[in-house]
Chain A
Amino acid sequence: MPHAAETVTLRRPGARPMLPLDIAGLTLAVDSRRLVDDLTLRLKGSGLTVIMGPNGAGKSLLLRLIHGLIRPTAGAISWGGVPMSAGLRVRQAMVFQRPVLLRRSVAANIDFVLGLRGAIGARAAAERRDRLLDRVGLLGHARQSARLLSGGEQQRLALARALAVEPEVLFLDEATASLDPASTQMIEEIVLAERGRGTKVIFVTHDIGQARRLADDVVFLHRGRLVEHRPARQFFDDPSSPPARAYLDGRIVL
């Protein structure tokens, strides 16, 4: 852990722990369709949770609900016993399926986020930015326009930007769905390293191989409902529900 010392000082000493995440009766209805349906779930304090399920299962919606980007129709979300709020969201970060980068240089995209989090001094900020860019292999592109990067480079920059906020919880929403294998591998390595630093990672994917490589535990959704939540090995070796079994076998479940 080369950054272990930094981790201790920059994370929020003395703050209440974020985890566990408790979700109770979570429902999101649009018109009369229940896109997330009475979902109750508890996630422990560490490790990498993979949320899986076929298209339309409600994976991305669930992620946005627990990150507080969407208001639920009903139900409760609490982190470490505290109801979700904007104050908690500053301790979290999210990487979206399609990276939304500012129309500025690569470096300026990181600077923007570092600037949001209060004064740490120009030199310290520049050092942190360069470390983050180095970590995602973009230090050589620092002066380039972010919008001219390749798809994989853009997503790595989005990940670096998410890490710039020193999140205690990191969400990734199908972040590698449209990337080439090299970029995917790089992102997976960084995410695993983050988990190693104690960051809680919640990773949405429908790539079964990726889920096997990354997951400590798996949440399987189907039609907005929680079907299974089990440790990864148990889930992959012996899925208990018919939809999960069908999904892992590559049969279509709708």
Chain B
Amino acid sequence: MQDLADAVRMALSLAMSGDAGFIEIVLLSLRVSLSATAIACLIGLPLGALIAIGRFAGRGPLIVIVNALMGLPPVVVGLVVYLNFSRAGPLGWLGLLYTPTAMIVAQTILVAPIVIALSRQVLEDLHAEYDEQFRSLNVPRGTAVWALIGDGRHALMTVALAGFGRAVAEVGAVIIVGGNIDHLTRVMTTAIALETSKGDLALALALGMVLLAVALAVNALVMGLRASARRSAYV
């Protein structure tokens, strides 16, 4: 338990120190995971909405598949992205391996199924409520999708937070496609993995606490926005 006490002290001094290398790692984590979440939402929300309101052949199996993809192992995603972005792979000419961009791509693939599957559920419930009224008003499908997303925004924000949580906490994908290169692709989780492999468990734990604090801050920020939006009565 000595490690735990050390870790708390170290986490505090890390957070206070303003050490440039440490801040670089925290900011890169945020940049990669927020970008991946944003892209996954841009892709996933309309897709989730279309599956929610669509009636097409294969819809049931598609929902099962998307739900299952929420459990994609990050290492597998990392490997697939690696094989594509490797110089020997089909997208090697892009030169993206071992860059933050590759990490964003990998995390987007991890987060998108979460956004699609959870938003599908949220929007399907909302759609059940709105459907008859929308058909009575002849609301075009595209307009209906955006109206559902707009009206479901609070639940969807929680969906986005779930996706962000997955992205910022995973290590398996980013360590393969990013390579954990110092000052280039090292993020909080890969730094934790590195310190663990160096046997510096207290520092690893301290970084873990900082990661948790950052995740908490992002969640608190979103919830705060939501509360202020509610106060302005646009529930």
Segment 117-153 of B: residues with Cβ below 8 Å from A: 129-130, 132-133, 135-140, 143, 147, 150-151
Q: Which residues from chain B contact A145 at a C-beta distance below 8 Å?
A: 233-235
Give the residues in chain A near B140, CB-CB below 8 Å.
Answer: 116
- A104-B151, A112-B147 known; A148 and B136 CB under 8 Å? no
Query: Which residues from chain A contact B150 at a C-beta distance below 8 Å?
Result: 102, 104
With A89-B138, A116-B138 as contacts: A105 and B133 at CB distance below 8 Å: no
- Which residues on A sit within 8 Å (CB–CB) of B143? 116
Is the Cβ of B233 less than 8 Å from the Cβ of A143? yes
| Set of chain B residues within 8 Å of A67, measured between Cβ atoms | 136
Binds B, one of A92-100, A126-134, A210-218, A222-230: A92-100
Residue of A nearest to B134 (CB): A100
CB distance from A235 to the nearest CB of B (A): 28
Query: Does B151 contact A100, Cβ atoms closer than 8 Å?
Result: no
Which residue in chain A gives the minimum CB-CB distance to B230?
A145
- Is A177 engaged at the interface, CB distance under 8 Å to the other chain? no
The complex places the Cα of A67 from the Cα of B133 at a distance, in Å, of 11
Task: Say if the beta carbon of A113 comes within 8 Å of chain B.
Answer: yes
Interface size class of B (residues with CB under 8 A): 10 to 19
Smallest CB-CB separation from A161: which chain B residue?
B137
> Interface SS of chain A: helix, strand, loop or mixed?
mixed
Question: Which residue of the partner chain, among A100, A104, A147, contacts B133 with CB atoms under 8 Å?
Answer: A100
- Report A202 CB to chain B, min CB distance, Å: 13
Q: Please give, as numbers and ranges, the residues of chain B lying within 8 Å of A96 by CB-CB distance.
A: 132-133, 136
Q: Is A139 an interface residue (CB 8 A)?
A: no
Rounded to whole Å, the gap between the CB of A125 and the closest CB of chain B is: 16
> Interface centre among B133, B150, B233, B234, by most A CB within 10 Å?
B133
Given the contacts A104-B151, A116-B143, A93 and B136 also touching, CB distance less than 8 Å: yes
Contact in complex: A102, B233 (CB < 8 Å): no
Complex Cα distance, B234 from A94, in Å, reads: 25
Complex CA–CA separation, A144 to B232 (angstroms):
9
Give A51-89 as 1s and 0s: 1 = Cβ < 8 Å from B's Cβ atoms: 000000000000010010100000000000000001001
Interface presence of A12 (CB below 8 A)? no
In the complex, residue of chain B having the shortest beta-carbon distance to the beta carbon of A115: B143
Q: List 25 A-B contacts (CB under 8 A).
A: A64-B132, A67-B136, A69-B132, A69-B136, A86-B138, A89-B135, A93-B136, A94-B136, A96-B132, A100-B130, A100-B132, A102-B130, A102-B147, A102-B150, A104-B150, A104-B151, A112-B147, A113-B137, A116-B137, A116-B139, A116-B140, A116-B143, A143-B233, A144-B233, A148-B233
Q: Across the A-B interface, give the 4 residue pairs with the lowest CB-CB distance, nearest first.
A: A100-B133, A145-B235, A103-B151, A94-B136
